[in-house]
Amino acid sequence: MMNEIYENYNHLIDLNQYSVEQWDDMLRLAADIKRNPRIYENSCIGKIMGTMFYEPSTRTQMSFQSAMLRLGGGTIGFVNPQTNSSVAKGENLKDTTKVVSGYCDVVVLRHNLEGAALAAAVNADCPVINAGDGGHLHPTQTLTDLMTLKEETGSLSGLTVGLCGDLKNGRTVHSLIKALSCYKNNKFVLISTESLRLPDYIQEPLKAKGAEYYEISSLEDAFEEHALDMLYMTRIQRERFENVWEYRSQADKFILDTEKMKKAPEKMLVLHPLPRVNEIAIEVDDDPRALYFKQANYGMYIRMALILQTINYELNNSPVLIGELRDDLECRNMKCITRAETYLPKSFKKSVGESGDIYFCEYCEESVVGI
């Protein structure tokens, strides 16, 4: 089975670089690994994965490490660059990536700035996997979510999906919506406060695909008005707010507890990328619809599949940046990697809007203004 479904994967920055058929192949491989782990236990002997985590992580970091160890490979890396890497001495992302990618067969990067994974890929000598770039994307969490849905519902199409919480800053939400909108007849119910609505650049793919979606501000209304197959709860992303007061004004607006679960559809699965803070009461853990711990476990198997599909191929030579290189444009997103790593080529993608051409930063996908 392994040889039949391997594809030549390279960097994984955004899942939408690859086709739905390739995601489906990876989901099948992950399911096979879960069923037959012994077959794969020596698949990565002699291979090394480097983890560069500029932001804290439990699940992503440890599931990647566990995945590589279960495939017979080894791991190196840092989880706190300010105490155990030369980032503390002022080394930039380019130099760190260039060096670490020379020691490894694959680099897994988590970074606080948006577009950092693409920026690292520009300078890497081995494939780079995006393990979360600021509030932008988190494609391996999405693979985890897709595997959970596929294994638990049998399908990734025709689903009514509720997403609740910090839809503005939640990178897991962004990646998941982009992915599920590529499957047929999925409907989205976006539950948030006005301030934490889904950003325009994630609404665009929904509109482009003609996906049905609703923006509402109450969990109870969501349960009453929509037959949700899945509710994806998310944490309010405290680290993305300007100050603690802004965060507090948004915290604890949506809490899923047993009372609300009584009003929820009988078969509605509850997923959460975790960590949770307060948005799902602990008592909900005993509800058979609560799948978030099982979901975290699926994450290890899908990362095993991703490592296999990434590591057994040479890095191909296709260019990493495919936009227009424009020195007369500047990304206006203060959290974009191009603001901190100013040596990066400024690259933009063009889209034709109603009032003329719109340029989007290739790294973080924010629309831009000329300078």
Helix intervals (H) in the chain:
2-5, 20-35, 37-40, 59-70, 81-84, 93-103, 116-122, 139-153, 171-180, 200-208, 219-225, 244-250, 258-263, 292-311, 337-340
Quote the CA–CA distance of 101 and 125 in Å, as a whole number: 5
Stretch that binds ligand CP, among 119-127, 205-213, 214-222, 270-278 (CB under 6 A): 270-278
Q: What is the chain's percent helix, strand, coil content, to nearest 5?
A: 40, 20, 40
- DSSP secondary structure string, 280-320? B-GGGGGSTTB-HHHHHHHHHHHHHHHHHHHHTSPPP-S-S
60 in catalytic set: yes
Distance CA 123, CA 358 (A): 27
Site residue total, ligand CP (CB under 6 A): 10
Q: Edge-to-edge strands of the sheet including 347-353?
A: 324-325, 347-353, 356-361
**213 close to 167: Cβ distance less than 8 angstroms:** no
Considering only the stretches 122-130, 183-191, 273-281, 330-338, report the one whose residues sit in contact with ligand CP under the rule CB under 6 A: 273-281
Q: Based on the residue annotation, tell me whether 294 is a catalytic residue of this protein.
A: no
By CB under 6 A, the residues from 50 to 79 that bind ligand CP are 57-61
Given the residues 11, 47, 51, 59, the one annotated as active site: 59
Closer by beta carbon to ligand CP, 49 or else 368: 49
Instruction: Give me the least distance between CB of 307 and ligand CP, in Å please.
Output: 16
**Axis-axis angle for helices 171-180, 139-153 (nearest 10):** 50
Structure token digits, residue 91: 């080394």
d(CA 342, CA 320): 18
Residue 80 is a binding residue for ligand CP (CB under 6 A): no
Which candidate in 138, 150, 253, 339 is catalytic? 138
| Comparison of 127 and 170: residue with beta carbon closer to ligand CP | 170
CB of 161 to ligand CP, least distance (A): 17
Residues 11, 47, 60, 272: which is the catalytic one?
A: 60
Minimum gap (Å) between residue 274 Cβ and ligand CP: 5
Q: Which one from 70, 110, 150, 260 is the annotated catalytic residue? A: 110
Is 89 an active-site residue? yes
By beta-carbon proximity to ligand CP, the closer residue of 202 and 331 is 202
The nearest distance, CB 207 to ligand CP, in angstroms, is 27
Evaluate the CA torsion angle 333, 206, 277, 155 in order and state its sign: negative
Residue 82 beta carbon to ligand CP: minimum distance, rounded to whole angstroms? 18
Amino acid letter at 44?
C
Selected binder of ligand CP within 148, 191, 273, 307 (CB under 6 A):
273
List the interface residues with ligand CP, window 18-57 (CB under 6 A).
Answer: 57
Active-site residue flag, 267:
no
CA dist., res. 127 & res. 143, Å (int): 17
CB of 299 to ligand CP, least distance (A): 8
Q: Please provide the size of the chain in residues.
A: 371
Cα–Cα distance between 73 and 361 in angstroms, integer? 36
Nearer to ligand CP, 274 or 364 (CB): 274
Applying the rule CB under 6 A, the residues between 106 and 145 that interact with ligand CP are 132, 141
Clarify whether 138 is annotated catalytic.
Answer: yes
Residue 146's nearest CA partner among 298, 300, 306, 309 is 298
The one segment of 9-17, 82-90, 249-257, 269-277 that binds ligand CP by CB under 6 A: 269-277
Give me the residues that bind ligand CP (CB under 6 A), please.
Answer: 57-61, 132, 141, 273-275
Catalytic residue numbers?
Answer: 59-60, 89, 110, 138
